[in-house]
Structure 1
Amino acid sequence: MATATIQSGTINLLNTIIGAGILAMPYGLKSNGLAFGLLLIVWSALTSSFGLYLQTKVSKYTDQQTAVSFFSLSKLTYPSLSVVFDAAIAIKCFGVGISYLVIIGDLMPKIVEALASGAADQWWNHRNTWISVFMIFVAPLSFLRKLDSLKYTSVVALFSVLYLICLVVFHYFFGEGSETSAPEIEWFGPISWRSTLRSFPIFVFAYTCHQNMFAIINELAIDANAGSKTRQSNHVIRNAIATACVSYTIVAVSGYLTFGSAVNGNIITMYPKNSMSSLVGRLCIVVMVALSFPLQCHPCRGSLNHVVYFIVEKFKRDPMISEEHDALIEDDSGADNSFVSTTPMEGAYDTAGHDPIVVPLTSRNFYYITTGIVVFSYLIAISITSLEHVLALVGSTGSTSISFVLPGLFGYLLIKPKPGQPATILEQFCKYGGLCLCLWGLLVMVVCLSATLFLGATH
């Protein structure tokens, strides 16, 4: 049932990486200087890609080759902490999904106002109207079972990103929209430790996509020409990270050189509001974040299913209920086995017959959890207008854990030589490199949390 290819995996991973954060890249250079800012972009790309690479390496250490997850790996290392890991993933993905809806609600009224004059109290100028309209189209996509099914919507989203890149480059070369003839540029940097810490989360979270990496690995089809899953996964990582890094660099440099120290945290707002090219650019942002919502719903659903399973098992005390529950898992009659679960949820036990290292997801739970994510995301999005500091806190903990701490920790604990054979140089590098990545993640968590709490940085 695994049908994904290197191309579809790259498209989905790239769309997971590139979000509205690309608009803040010029501001990142403003806060750090051109040379030092570019160094942070490249460094963040390297650390993120190493985390993805470690996920590929450690996925081979579980027998569930088509259903690998943070949950299944935690069962091999720290079983009692598996619920903590999944809770962090679920909260992070849920929060980011809400932020996408908030962005839609903020931008669409401005787009409509620029296109058609009318009273401000008209229904088409209300943020909740547009959140509701887009949810009608986005909600069905959230019920797709396989991540590979989202490759076509990801292509549309990436075309929106391409337009944004072209827009920023066009304004730089032709000078349209620039209010200063000689923008003030800091060529080297860093400017100050305070400005660096305030902007640091921009670069750290720019490449967060690790929550969907295991899903991509699970869905990759073994192909004689493309090679093993490991080989294909490495190609996906290389293609996605390299493309994202180049995209961030182009937008960052072009936007910063256009406006210099006058640039703000959203480059699209720097261009003329009534310009048709700028209006299309804003619409591209809306399309991009709307089509990215299902990519956040996918891992959130799998992690919530793990959390629910843990809670049920934790508070279950009746032996008869326990036996009936275990029998249900083994039979899995309520599960839909017509698809390969991408956030490992098929009922599978380890060889010793202990607790399942992959939690089953019945069709009933699939629809219940997905409906809950969609409904609560919608209700929260229409109730509040700003999630900046909340997302910064969630991103500092959840994104950092997913991107650095967990891949590094699993790499250090699980990567080992075959029995009776000495460790290779690559195995030693991955093992101790994983430890360094884990420590780096903890440092990043402290720095980003401190920047959020004391310096007012936002996600």
Structure 2
Amino acid sequence: MGRATVKSGTINLLNTIIGAGILAMPYGLKSNGLLFGCILIFWSSLTSSFGLYLQNKVAKYTQQQGAVSYFSLAQLTYPQLSIVFDSAISIKCFGVGVSYLVVIGDLMPKIMESLNVSTNSYFMERNLWITIFMVFIVVPLSYLKKLDSLKYTSVVALFSVVYLICLVIEHYVANDIPTDGKKVDWFGPISVKSTLSSFPIFVFAYTCHQNMFAIINELKPSETEGSQTRQSNLIIRNAISTAAASYLIVGIIGYLTFGNAVNGNIITMYPKDSISSLIGRLCIVIMVSLSFPLQCHPCRGSVNHVFHFITQGVQESKIRHSGQREGYSALSSDIESLESLASDSIQDESFVSTTPMEGAQDTDGHDPIIVPLTSRRFYIITTIIVLASYLVAITVTSLEHVLAFVGSTGSTSISFILPGVFGYMLIKPLGDATSLNSLERFCKYGGLALAVWGVIVMIVCLSATIFLGAKH
């Protein structure tokens, strides 16, 4: 089933990371000062990349590469909480997907206004543009069955990011933006309140962990690119470093261009009658519309897990063979039986899923928990997601505070808390849990620290949302 490469994995993970949040980076630096804001960008990249690294290590140590998921790992740690984990992931991804549609509905009428379209025209209706983009872009891409299939659309979306970066640099070099009495805070921090209210901007800027397991599952060992673990580490390094560089460029140059007058969406700061600014706004619309399927993909998988948990519960059965497994290693007969199951499912039910067999094996010798995703269920769940997203997007005009709550809980769970918990509880030498080398010890106790950090982040972000009006 593995067909992805380091290049395609990097592209998809990077497109998952960089969304409309890049537009708020200059405002984030304004709220914290230039130097301290850059430190927050760098620190957030480190914590996020460590969470991704732990996901990769856990997939290796549990020998689930090709079939790993939050659900399967939850069976080895807290099986009864797996429904909570997947519910958080599905709600978070659904909310972000809806916000992308809201951005389309907000920006397209402004683009039409820049083209001197009459205010009474149908082309000024936000719901019309949401419908158009849903029908021609979002829906067709959401029904693609493998994450790797989105690599080409992700390339187009990333070109939009490149254009935004060029736009920011061009206006700064040209010095064509009038800024009377421009003021820049070079160091920072400005104040505790200012830092706390802007903190979610940096924390959630690197949220992409919901797609990391899917990327790992679609990789396969290669003589040129190495093992799945090595390929995944390269993908993490490439994606996080590129995202951090993009955030720093847009944040620093955008802030230096407008100073403390910058608002939460830098693209709105540039002249409306400028062709380059018009193209920039259109690029943002294209970027978010092409990013919706990257949220639909993990949302669909998590909904499938929740449905399985509700209808089937956690089923365990003892392995029928003499002796006991050591660590997480699997018998060849088990692997063959699972491959046979997947093959039969493909023939009989058009079995489709990025993770065809999502299961976990523990040291007590339990069979994998298998969560099939048939074609019928695939299309039903996808249809429900896109239809519900559309109805919510055309009904409401602002999801800022709702997304702030969802992001504070869902994003911190999948980015910090769960990777940290899994790393602490599952990373250990095969067959010998008593001896840890230095790297394993770092990952194990670093995972505990990351989980604690995630709890702190959740408390801080929820408090900022409730008391300071912070937005996701």
One fold, TM greater than 0.5? Answer: yes
Measure the CA separation in 1 of the matches of 2:359 and 2:247: 41
Tell me the SS of whatever aligns to 1:170.
helix
Aligned residue in 2 for 1:346: 357
Aligned residue in 1 for 2:380: 368
Conserved 8 A contact 1:334-1:362: no
Q: Label 1:71 to 1:107 Cα distance change in 2 as closer, same or farther (>3 A).
A: same
> What TM-score do you get using the length of structure 2 for normalisation?
0.90
Q: Deviations over 1:114-143 (max 9, x none)?
A: 11331x232111000000000012101001
Aligned residue in 1 for 2:9: 9
Measure the CA separation in 2 of the matches of 1:375 and 1:234: 36
How far did residue 430 of structure 1 move? 0.2
Q: Deviations over 1:67-104 (max 9, x none)?
A: 10000000111100100000000000000000000000
Measure the CA separation in 2 of the matches of 1:178 and 1:280: 21
Aligned residue in 2 for 1:455: 468
- Where in structure 2 are the equivalents of 1:17-416 lying within 5 Å? 17-118=17-118, 120-136=119-135, 137-180=137-180, 182-314=181-313, 332=345, 335-337=349-351, 341-342=353-354, 344-346=355-357, 350=361, 356-416=368-428
Tell me the SS of whatever aligns to 2:386.
helix
Q: Deviations over 1:301-333 (max 9, x none)?
A: 0000000111112599xxxxxxxxxxxx99747
Aligned residue in 1 for 2:450: 437
Q: Label 1:237 to 1:347 Cα distance change in 2 as closer, same or farther (>3 A).
A: closer
How far did residue 346 of structure 1 move? 2.8
Measure the CA separation in 1 of the matches of 2:358 and 2:427: 25
Q: Label 1:25 to 1:151 Cα distance change in 2 as closer, same or farther (>3 A).
A: same
Amino acid at match of 1:248: Y
Measure the CA separation in 1 of the matches of 2:359 and 2:450: 30
Q: Mind listing any 5+ residue stretches in structure 2 that lack a counterpart?
A: 316-340
Amino acid at match of 1:140: P
Measure the CA separation in 2 of the matches of 1:42 and 1:348: 35
How far did residue 354 of structure 1 move? 5.1
**Percent of aligned pairs with the same residue?**
69
Measure the CA separation in 2 of the matches of 1:240 and 1:262: 31
Conserved 8 A contact 1:177-1:270: no
How far did residue 189 of structure 1 move? 0.4
Measure the CA separation in 2 of the matches of 1:55 and 1:348: 15
Conserved 8 A contact 1:71-1:357: no
How far did residue 173 of structure 1 move? 1.3
How far did residue 444 of structure 1 move? 0.1
Measure the CA separation in 1 of the matches of 2:112 and 2:164: 19
How many aligned residue pairs are there?
A: 442
Conserved 8 A contact 2:314-2:369: no
Measure the CA separation in 2 of the matches of 1:252 and 1:65: 37
Measure the CA separation in 1 of the matches of 2:90 and 2:367: 22
Conserved 8 A contact 1:142-1:297: yes
Amino acid at match of 2:467: F
Which shifted more, 81-90 or 417-426?
Answer: 417-426
Measure the CA separation in 2 of the matches of 1:167 and 1:294: 26
Q: Label 1:401 to 1:334 Cα distance change in 2 as closer, same or farther (>3 A).
A: farther
Equivalent position to 1:424, from 418, 421, 437: 437
Conserved 8 A contact 1:178-1:258: no
Amino acid at match of 2:421: L
How far did residue 428 of structure 1 move? 0.2
Measure the CA separation in 2 of the matches of 1:172 and 1:368: 49
Root mean square deviation of aligned Cα: 1.8
How far did residue 353 of structure 1 move? 8.2
Conserved 8 A contact 1:52-1:213: yes
Q: Label 1:402 to 1:98 Cα distance change in 2 as closer, same or farther (>3 A).
A: same
Measure the CA separation in 2 of the matches of 1:283 and 1:270: 15
Measure the CA separation in 2 of the matches of 1:242 and 1:349: 32
Measure the CA separation in 1 of the matches of 2:63 and 2:249: 42
How far did residue 172 of structure 1 move? 1.1
Measure the CA separation in 2 of the matches of 1:117 and 1:146: 40
Q: Deviations over 1:395-437 (max 9, x none)?
A: 0000000100000000000011233573110000000000000
Measure the CA separation in 2 of the matches of 1:202 and 1:350: 38
> What TM-score do you get using the length of structure 1 for normalisation?
0.93
Tell me the SS of whatever aligns to 2:369.
strand
Measure the CA separation in 2 of the matches of 1:40 and 1:413: 29
Q: Deviations over 1:338-386 (max 9, x none)?
A: x5x32x3437675888575231111111000000000000000000000
Measure the CA separation in 2 of the matches of 1:377 and 1:356: 33
Conserved 8 A contact 2:216-2:232: yes
Tell me the SS of whatever aligns to 2:221.
coil
Conserved 8 A contact 1:69-1:214: yes
Which shifted more, 63-72 or 219-228?
Answer: 63-72
Amino acid at match of 1:411: G
Aligned residue in 2 for 1:321: none
How far did residue 178 of structure 1 move? 3.4
Conserved 8 A contact 2:2-2:219: yes
Tell me the SS of whatever aligns to 1:358.
coil
Q: Deviations over 1:176-207 (max 9, x none)?
A: 23333x52010100000000000000000000
Measure the CA separation in 1 of the matches of 2:115 and 2:51: 44
